[in-house]
Amino acid sequence: MRAELLIKGGYVIDPLTKFAGQGDVGLAKGKVVALSPSLPSSQADQIIDASGYIVMPGVIDSHMHASSEARWVGFQMMASVGVTTAVDFGGPIQSTIKGLARYGCGMSIAGLHTIVPGENTSTTDPPVEELSTLADEALAAGALGLKIVGGHRPATPEVTARIIDVANRKGCYVAFHVGTTETGSNIEGFFEAIRLAGRNRLHIAHVNSYCRGLSKTPAQEALDAVEALTANRHLVSESYLGTINGTSAACKDGLPVSHVTRNCLRMGGFEPTEEGMAKAIKEGWALIQVLRGGQIELVTGEEGYEIWLEAKTATGVSFPVNNPAAMHILASAKTPSGDFVVDAISTDGGAIPRNVQLERGAALVRLGALTWPELVRKLTLNPARMFGFASKGSLQDGFDADVTLVEPESGKAHMAIARGEIIMVDGVVVGRGGCLIATPAAKGAETEGIPVEFADLETSLFYTRQ
Ligand SMILES: [Zn+2]
């Protein structure tokens, strides 16, 4: 078949077919039409010279944030580092769709819908029927599933388990930032999450962030997490490679609203109060997230403090709390059968400036912690399988024409192609709009003109791995 775009002369890595070598990839009508060591130029309308670059399936960010209006800039930030598909872990889904329609940059986006008992439910102890109705509404509006933000705004263990159960009964996705009223966003919360899931399916979000050394050393906590995930293969997870976290700086009645924020202040030796937050910003421990020049930047010191005051504390904030040893263990650990223990490398970024999956991933390759084909697997095929994105994660014929070109030494993304269209070249984002990936419950949903595709959760790793 004639290719509209022929990506020629790159080093192609495809984790599904295990192709790894000099090769050409032909794209037409939004799909891959050929992958071969050499394809004739005469068969193509347009040729992209990929020599010197790794050509891989489009990067899938398995955990990011771009849903609220202040975070729609996240689409641009992701596209600029080569992401072609991403899953928003915040919601509400209506806001994710609105952002996608206006600022989508050509990417495919799925979104989870956050349930915070007591905030968007009638009480802190919502019954099954209420949670079930909420889930139905979210799925009908285009969500892939639910998110529980325990670590930030904890629910009781019983209510948390109830939400997980409701999602499993519906066959939708459910992800958990661990922590309940009994534990916290730490390794104890992580073990509790495994207990609360029982035999239910659950995505444990950003495992690295529970290994910050609050009970043992970070490396030991990471090894304990690896052991637990190896023993519980019915759970899926991702971890990221950014040194900073991302949380809320909002304070109420003299205290940070988020429990994660309180922990981060303690870790830096500050009081977990509004006053402690002010001091932490002035002294450079707390980094305030500020929109500047089309992206979110981190500002600290007096300047950051002024911005935070001006916003009446309602800003995002980051702290340098992620331990590199724990991150590296979680990124590279394998089960005895050779699978990755943590399924994917994510960013928890989007609008939080830590979309470093390729850059830091390439650094792990240079260190010898991963090979390039392994890194590509964790950034493409594994997340595609996890969420049931059946036509993504490979450059085999018939898969979606999502491709990322990377400079191998630096890990810098050179080009991103999403559904057959070039959306980014050397950091300049030219893509528009996008595509929503939802469940079949979203048939007929109002999506602001955004086309909808359906994930196959029934055959996803999330619902099938033994
Ligand atoms: Zn997150």
Per-residue pLDDT tens digits for 441-459: 999 899 999 999 999 999 9
Q: Is residue 408 part of a domain?
A: yes
Question: Could you report the per-residue pLDDT of 172-207, keeping only the tens digit for each?
Answer: 999 999 999 999 999 999 999 999 999 999 999 999
Short-list 377, 448, 462, 369, CA closest to 109:
448
Structure token digits, residue 394: 């490979």
* Rounded Cα gap, residues 160 and 194, in angstroms: 12
Please tell me the predicted confidence (pLDDT) of residue 269: 97
118-140 residue pLDDT tens? 999 999 999 999 999 999 999 99
CA 208 to ligand 1 center in whole angstroms: 12
Task: Examine the domain organization and report whether 119 and 141 are in the same domain.
Answer: yes
Q: Give me ligand 1 centre to Cα 168, in Å.
A: 21
Please return the burial class of 66, using the count of CB atoms within 10 Å of its CB with bins 0-12, 13-18 and 19+. Answer: buried
Residue 421 falls within a domain, yes or no? Answer: yes
Q: Please indicate, yes or no, whether residues 340 and 198 belong to a single structural domain of this protein.
A: yes
277 with 364, same domain: the answer is: no
How many Å lie between the centroid of ligand 1 and the Cα of residue 15? 26
Pair (216, 326) in one structural domain: yes
**Residue corresponding to tokens 């193509």:** 44
- How far is the centre of ligand 1, averaged over its atoms, from the C-alpha of 349 (Å)? 7
Residue 186 is assigned to a structural domain of this protein: yes
The tokens 């052991």 sit on which residue? 227
Instruction: Say how many Å lie between the CA of residue 442 and the centre of ligand 1.
Output: 24
Residue 460 lies in a domain: no
Mean pLDDT computed over every residue of the chain: 96
Residue 432: which CATH number? 2.30.40.10
Q: What is the CATH number of the domain that holds 153?
A: 3.20.20.140
Q: Taking residues 83-89, what's their average pLDDT?
A: 98
Q: What is the pLDDT of residue 294?
A: 85
φ and ψ of 381, to 5 deg: -65, -45
Domain boundary residue among 387, 409, 426?
387
Ramachandran sector of residue 304 (left: φ over 0; alpha: ψ -120 to 50; beta: rest): alpha
Q: Name residues with Cβ closer than 5 Å to ligand 1, which is an ion.
A: 89, 348
**Model confidence at 8, in pLDDT bands (50, 70, 90)?**
very high
Distance 13 CA to ligand 1 centre (A): 29
The two tokens of residue 296 are: 């979110």
41 in helix, strand or coil? helix
| Mean local confidence (pLDDT), 81-95 | 96
pLDDT at 1 over 90: no
Q: How far is the CA of 56 from the centre of ligand 1 (A)?
A: 25
In a domain, 185, yes or no: yes
Centroid of ligand 1 to alpha carbon of 106 (angstroms): 22
Q: What is the pLDDT of residue 3?
A: 95
Instruction: Read off the pLDDT of each residue in 333-346 and give the average, rounded to a whole number.
Output: 97
Alpha-carbon span 147 to 137, nearest angstrom: 14
- Alpha carbon distance 102, 236 (integer Å): 31
Q: Alpha helix (H) ranges present in 238-310? A: 259-267, 274-282, 301-310
Across 303-329, b (16+ Cβ under 10 Å) vs e yields: ebbebbeeeebebbbbbbbbbebbbbb
30-52: average pLDDT: 96
Residues 421 and 376 in one domain: no
Q: Is the pLDDT of residue 29 over 90?
A: yes
Tokens 């004739």, located at residue: 40
Domain match, 126 and 208 both: yes
Same domain for 98 and 173?
A: yes
343-397 per-position pLDDT tens digit? 999 999 999 999 999 999 999 999 999 999 999 999 999 999 999 999 999 999 9
Helices and strands (DSSP H and E) totals, the chain:
14, 26
Does the residue 458 lie in any domain? no
Do 220 and 298 lie in one domain? The reply is no
Tokens of 77: 């930030």
Q: Does any domain span residue 454?
A: no
Whole-number Å distance between alpha carbons of 90 and 113: 6
CA-to-CA dists, residue 95 to 347, 348, 447, 448, angstroms = 20, 18, 10, 11
Q: Looking at the 3D structure of the chain, how many domains does it have?
A: 3
Q: Which of 265, 295, 319 is the last residue of a domain?
A: 319
Q: 52 and 101 share a domain?
A: no
Statement: residue 293 has pLDDT above 90: no
Tell me: pLDDT of 48 over 80. Answer: yes
CB 104 within 8 A of CB 450: yes
Distance from Cα 398 to the centre of ligand 1, integer Å: 32
Domain ends where: 303, 319, 335? 319
Question: Do both 82 and 191 map to the same domain?
Answer: yes
Mean pLDDT of 411-416: 98
**Residues 76 and 140 placed together within one structural domain of the fold:** yes
Q: How far is the CA of 348 from the centre of ligand 1 (A)?
A: 5
**140 or 295, higher pLDDT:** 140
Same domain, 51 and 74: no
Distance 378 CA to ligand 1 centre (A): 18
Q: 352 C-alpha vs ligand 1 centroid, how far in Å?
A: 9
- Dist. CA 36–CA 12, nearest whole Å: 9
What is the domain range of residue 314?
247-319
Q: Is residue 456 part of a domain?
A: no
> How far is the centre of ligand 1, averaged over its atoms, from the C-alpha of 346 (Å)?
10
Each residue of 141-155: b (16+ CB within 10 Å) or e? Answer: bbbbbbbbbbbbbbb
Residues 131-178 have pLDDT tens digits of 999 999 999 999 999 999 998 899 999 999 999 999 999 999 999 999
What contacts 42, CB < 8 A, 6 or more positions away?
none
Phi, psi of 245 (to 5 degrees): -95, -170
